[in-house]
């Protein structure tokens, strides 16, 4: 994982979700954290399946969790994922 003020929680890294809605642009928190002017970036609200994060045996595997992640911390998934 890279150093710095990265706001993608470890439990979501490498996981695949789908876009719930697009937000922003909002200033980059990596720059704001060090007193710099933040470049405007798209913020994406993503939705993940609990089973995809914690495995099929987790409590309420069909529940979802939403996370808002800046676009430069995301990469496109290989195929459609929405249930």
Residues that bind other proteins (CB under 8 A): 1-2, 5, 9-11, 29, 32-35, 53-54
Nearer to other proteins, 57 or 80 (CB): 57
Q: Any alpha helices (H) in 1-83, and if so which ranges? A: 29-32, 50-54
To other proteins, the closest distance from the beta carbon of 53 in angstroms equals 8
Which of 25, 12, 19 lies closest to 45 in space, CA to CA? Answer: 19
Nearer to other proteins, 51 or 53 (CB): 53
Nearer to other proteins, 11 or 40 (CB): 11
Lookup: tokens for 60:
């309420």
To other proteins, the closest distance from the beta carbon of 65 in angstroms equals 10
* E strand spans, 1-83: 18-27, 40-49, 64-70
């Amino acid at each position: 994982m890279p150093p710095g003020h990265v706001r993608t929680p470890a439990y979501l890294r490498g996981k695949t979700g789908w876009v719930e809605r697009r937000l922003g642009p909002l200033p980059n928190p990596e720059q704001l954290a060090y007193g710099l002017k933040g470049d405007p970036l798209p913020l994406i609200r993503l939705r993940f399946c609990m089973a995809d994060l914690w495995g099929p045996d987790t409590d309420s595997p069909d529940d979802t969790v939403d996370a808002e992640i800046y676009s430069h911390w995301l990469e496109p998934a290989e195929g459609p994922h929405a249930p």
